[in-house]
Amino acid sequence: MRPGNAPDPKPMTVRTRNTLLITAAATAVFFGLRALPDTACGFMHLHDTVVGETGLEYCDPSEVAMYAETDAIKFPVTAEIVPDEPLVAGKTTRVRLTLRAPNGNALLPHEIALSHTKQVHLMATDPALDAYRHLHPEPEGTAGEWVFDYTPASGGEQVFFIDCIHRLTKRPQLIRVTLPCAGATVPAAPLRTLDATLPDGGHATLSLHPQPAKTGEDIDIRLRFAGRAGAPVTLKPVMAAYAHLVAFDPERKGFAHLHPLQTDRENDPQPELRFRFRTDKPGRYRLWAQFDAGHGETFVPFDVWVR
């Protein structure tokens, strides 16, 4: 007996000890994920959004899309991408994606939040950054596999950026995966101007403010649309936004996914969309704009420089 005739404490059972260990591990994982920098609109957002009367999702006016390199941030969720057969340029192949939590378990569909109408957004690029695909893997089976079809435009290393939100922590996850691809590689793509011709002969024009754009400072990006001979343009939503911009560095080490801020000019006869971007890495960025100006989803590249 202990002093004061207090009874001796009961020894901890194996079951109790294991329960405590599992609880401690789960708590550590949860707070580890929560401790990640909140990139807000830097990646696909779940909160920090403004939802308009039409159901469109906008970035909060106080947020800025940040360029990030995955090797520098080390997101805890990892990804495996395995094609059913080796990738070959020009050939469509079924590809399987598995997202894994820090404990190695595959994340199931109910563990991934819905954002911009989809659970998983996958951005794929070729070595020349002249071909860009925005894909949405779909869950298949019960083992945590997500599948998509991919047709490489050219040979060489294909880079995939997976963008999703862990439902439990509400934190964005950005994962970079590469796959080899057989076939001829294309030469470096020519530089793109800030004015692109639309299918109807109209134009999409990109501008940066201030100019020159500088690292460490907010860069205001304006995307303007004009129909042929000044005809009006009506933008249609794409994944709950009037446009999506994706910025890649030439080495494809990182990227930023930009969504529009809410302004009063989205529905003008010549619409203007506004984005906010920041990077600490100087150099050239290829921005791919994805939108529907009345002719179906259109992908247009621009090249910008940041000092």
Q: Would you say the CATH fold of 195-306 matches that of 75-182?
A: yes
1-24 confidence digits (pLDDT tens): 445 555 555 566 766 665 566 555
> What is the C-alpha to C-alpha distance for residues 278 and 262, in angstroms, rounded to an integer?
18
49-86 confidence digits (pLDDT tens): 444 455 677 666 667 889 989 888 878 899 999 999 99
**Domain limits of the chain?**
75-182, 195-306
Stretch 142-151: mean pLDDT: 95
230-276 confidence digits (pLDDT tens): 899 999 999 989 999 999 999 999 999 999 998 889 999 999 999 99
Question: What confidence score (pLDDT) does residue 10 get?
Answer: 56
β-bridge partners, 149: 94
CATH of domain 75-182: 2.60.40.10
**Architecture field, domain 195-306:** Sandwich (2.60)
The answer on pLDDT for 215 being more than 80 is yes
Question: What confidence score (pLDDT) does residue 5 get?
Answer: 57
**Cis before 76 (ω within 30):** no
Average pLDDT, the chain: 85
Question: What confidence score (pLDDT) does residue 248 get?
Answer: 96
Q: What is the DSSP string of 147-197?
A: EEEE--SSSS-EEEEEEEEETTTTEEEEEEEEE-EESPPPPPPPPP-SEEE
Question: What confidence score (pLDDT) does residue 187 get?
Answer: 85
Stretch 158-187: mean pLDDT: 91
Stretch 95-110: mean pLDDT: 94
> What is the C-alpha to C-alpha distance for residues 186 and 105, in angstroms, rounded to an integer?
38
